[in-house]
Structure 1
């Protein structure tokens, strides 16, 4: 837990420092242009998600059995995303009425192309619970991306510098994944394994698509209805308000998911252990959300500067989203470790439905605050069903008192 928390904390400190510096070089509208690029790229990544990493983590077989096929799928997926992003970039720029984003969208085509060549064996540290090595590996990539981004933005004063950082970090991750991890894949595949990975990952794909719609649907509507400037304000408000809780969610998931799989395999997983993890998870999320709400004016003034003060009320509203979403996400590690990807996808679908029915009228009526309220409505809408699913999952877990 320590090294995973240290990784997330160190990454967050680096990213906050990066954002604070960039906010004094780039205008909110330029952040909005970069936001359009990340929305498009993440959409294509979610639509083509295969769930390879989850599949490999869940397998008790050695990685050698699947690594060639997994790498082949990853390369094809990366090339497909790159091609689609290039072909659809004029349409995307037109949809957001942002011609400034066209050239940057085309530059971003390199990101998925490089990512496709990452060695799938890079999940080894997580699979073997070697979190210190995972920290060193991931932090090196984050630090390199930050360094390249800051240098490129400083010299070119353009959001293209942000994409340059993503390209550089993707290339570095390819190199490190082959230098540090084995087995190293060959360009080959077995068709039965392709179908096995895709079939088992279909609910992961569904969850990814639905989670994308829920976490970025409000961004898309804001960008379409209110423009680049408002999108830049909203995206940074969203990050500042929800990412601290998101770090807690990621830490607990990355630790407990492989841990629950291992404990389930040797029949040592107990309800008391699960409930303890969930309780600590929720307590930390609520504590951080209260701090974000209370100190939002200070955070915005110090980190982003006076040009971003209109983000303060949005940050405070979205702090409540961090709580409701954190409660729901605290259940995911157990559900996924038991192969209940379908339940996770259903919860995400309900999130999306709650957001979809409210986002447009709320944005038109209340602007950026309306988008934040709509996101909260979507999260609350799915919460009772998530509680129902975790209750079923807990009942199926071996209890220490009955063994």
Structure 2
């Protein structure tokens, strides 16, 4: 255990922190995925749509009032940021009570807008969530700032266990959407209590104008990014719910969650670890650039085969694991898997912008993406349903966000685009070959059991990807093996 505690030089601490954050995310997501698959069997798509509407309203208000204090404190060059914490805590609490009041008031109009009167009491209960989040111990920011993700593991994992246990138990007992609602509220209560157990900082209500000004100075762009990326990431949910109804929203949200899990989890782990690491390197552009390329190489080596795998095994997966009531979501799952691939390729840029003191880039790039999606999404959804929605999301990211990410990187990091495309070409070839082989076998070999078919295709895909990757390492010069070995060396100190 001591061998992976985040100590030593920056490379060692970063690698070991990555292990802990990976353990945290994997354990959380495995538990949540198991819960999700069980709940999909116990609850209807309509139930997922109802909670989806409530969480959509909650997320929208949270993003439109995001203060950005956590990112500001992590990016701060000072190791000790205690003088900011009480002010941050006080403002977060005030924000939480304000959001709760707004949620309670808008519950009725929101239910009318989506044509789902059942969602009004759900939103009113969910209104307690921002209050609980605002009361969380601000000292836990040190877990990320100091790369102490072994402590964050304890904090977040205990909360996830509560959510999974409560939600599944209540789903068996009640069989309706309230299992998801109560599970979410109790998980937030657990998160609040555990935050004071795992960190010894004890905040007090106070306000320091100078400290608040410094945090707002950085956080204003996090606030702007929050609004922009809510529109980019959740705007499609609003369109689906408004045009196609809550049942279609249930299909779409589950498709989105499953399709993007590989991209968001891997890039989320890497981004959370690398943001503080990049911040410590921010005065050395060459070092940041090299760290970015190593990060890109690791991310795409894992996310590309996972994303292609989701695309090709979607039919047997849905039929075997989720059940026949979820079959209409298969086309949306496949098109969103393409979005996941693009997201994983570009998702590593965000932490670089933050660490280099340019959080405005994320907001500006996201704004272009929102404009492209706004033009496409309504006619695409009206004409082609969920597939049209997914296609609009893919087009908005591929045409609006990714080109700007590359252009800014070329200038900010003095990055050669040729190297970027060379790094991503290796996993594209390996994952593409894997996908073609699995697709061909799926279309030609008839298997009576969807579960047996799914397991066989997954095993085949893994073998093919590893074989092609080995050839690329030996013949074409893919440096992924060397990169993994260097991470292993850093883990050993």
Establish whether TM, by shorter chain, passes 0.5: yes
1:148 CA drift (Å): 1.4
For 1:9, the equivalent position in structure 2 comes to 26
Structure 2 residue 250 is matched with structure 1 residue 232: yes
Choose which of 182, 201, 222 in structure 2 pairs with 1:204: 222
Deviates more, 1:129-138 or 1:268-277: 268-277
Structure 2 residue 413 is matched with structure 1 residue 394: yes
Unaligned runs of 5+ in 2: 1-17, 416-493
The 5 A counterparts of 1:328-339 are 328-339=346-357
Choose which of 187, 202, 207 in structure 2 pairs with 1:184: 202
For 1:148, the equivalent position in structure 2 comes to 166
> In structure 2, how many angstroms separate the alpha carbons of the residues matched to 1:44 and 1:273?
35
Choose which of 116, 119, 125 in structure 1 pairs with 2:143: 125
> In structure 2, how many angstroms separate the alpha carbons of the residues matched to 1:354 and 1:325?
16
> In structure 1, how many angstroms separate the alpha carbons of the residues matched to 2:327 and 2:293?
40
Q: Say which SS state the counterpart of residue 164 (structure 2) adopts.
A: helix
Q: Say which SS state the counterpart of residue 269 (structure 1) adopts.
A: helix
Structure 2 residue 315 is matched with structure 1 residue 315: no
Query: Is the CA contact (8 Å cut-off) linking 1:285 and 1:323 kept in structure 2?
Result: yes
> In structure 1, how many angstroms separate the alpha carbons of the residues matched to 2:234 and 2:285?
39
Choose which of 78, 82, 93 in structure 2 pairs with 1:75: 93
> In structure 1, how many angstroms separate the alpha carbons of the residues matched to 2:76 and 2:55?
31
1:302 CA drift (Å): 2.9
Pair 1:140–1:265, CA change in 2 (3 A) = farther
Choose which of 22, 26, 44 in structure 1 pairs with 2:43: 26
For 2:386, the equivalent position in structure 1 comes to 368
Query: Is the CA contact (8 Å cut-off) linking 2:167 and 2:183 kept in structure 1?
Result: yes
1:205 CA drift (Å): 0.9
For 1:327, the equivalent position in structure 2 comes to 345
> In structure 2, how many angstroms separate the alpha carbons of the residues matched to 1:384 and 1:245?
19
1:218 CA drift (Å): 0.9
For 1:341, the equivalent position in structure 2 comes to 359
> In structure 2, how many angstroms separate the alpha carbons of the residues matched to 1:192 and 1:133?
30
For 1:89, the equivalent position in structure 2 comes to 107
Query: Is the CA contact (8 Å cut-off) linking 2:84 and 2:212 kept in structure 1?
Result: no
Choose which of 386, 403, 411 in structure 2 pairs with 1:384: 403
Query: Is the CA contact (8 Å cut-off) linking 1:19 and 1:304 kept in structure 2?
Result: no
Q: Decide which structure has the larger Cα Rg and report it.
A: 2
Structure 2 residue 54 is matched with structure 1 residue 37: yes
Pair 1:298–1:12, CA change in 2 (3 A) = farther
> In structure 2, how many angstroms separate the alpha carbons of the residues matched to 1:105 and 1:282?
38
Choose which of 302, 325, 339 in structure 1 pairs with 2:320: 302
Q: Say which SS state the counterpart of residue 24 (structure 1) adopts.
A: helix
Deviations 1:350-387 (A, max 9, x none): 11111111110000100110000010011012211110
Deviations 1:200-242 (A, max 9, x none): 2111111111111111111111100111111101110111111
Query: Is the CA contact (8 Å cut-off) linking 1:234 and 1:311 kept in structure 2?
Result: yes
Pair 1:133–1:268, CA change in 2 (3 A) = farther
Deviates more, 1:88-97 or 1:173-182: 173-182
For 2:77, the equivalent position in structure 1 comes to 60
> In structure 1, how many angstroms separate the alpha carbons of the residues matched to 2:284 and 2:188?
37
Query: Is the CA contact (8 Å cut-off) linking 2:241 and 2:248 kept in structure 1?
Result: yes
1:325 CA drift (Å): 1.8
Deviates more, 1:299-308 or 1:360-369: 299-308
Q: What is the root-mean-square deviation in Å for CA atoms of aligned residues?
A: 1.7
Deviates more, 1:92-101 or 1:260-269: 260-269
Q: Say which SS state the counterpart of residue 358 (structure 1) adopts.
A: helix
> In structure 2, how many angstroms separate the alpha carbons of the residues matched to 1:295 and 1:349?
34
Query: Is the CA contact (8 Å cut-off) linking 2:93 and 2:135 kept in structure 1?
Result: yes
Query: Is the CA contact (8 Å cut-off) linking 2:278 and 2:288 kept in structure 1?
Result: no
Count residues in correspondence: 397
Query: Is the CA contact (8 Å cut-off) linking 1:19 and 1:303 kept in structure 2?
Result: no
1:135 CA drift (Å): 1.6
Structure 2 residue 260 is matched with structure 1 residue 242: yes
> In structure 2, how many angstroms separate the alpha carbons of the residues matched to 1:376 and 1:266?
34
Query: Is the CA contact (8 Å cut-off) linking 1:293 and 1:315 kept in structure 2?
Result: yes
For 1:399, the equivalent position in structure 2 comes to none
> In structure 2, how many angstroms separate the alpha carbons of the residues matched to 1:83 and 1:92?
14
Q: Say which SS state the counterpart of residue 49 (structure 1) adopts.
A: coil
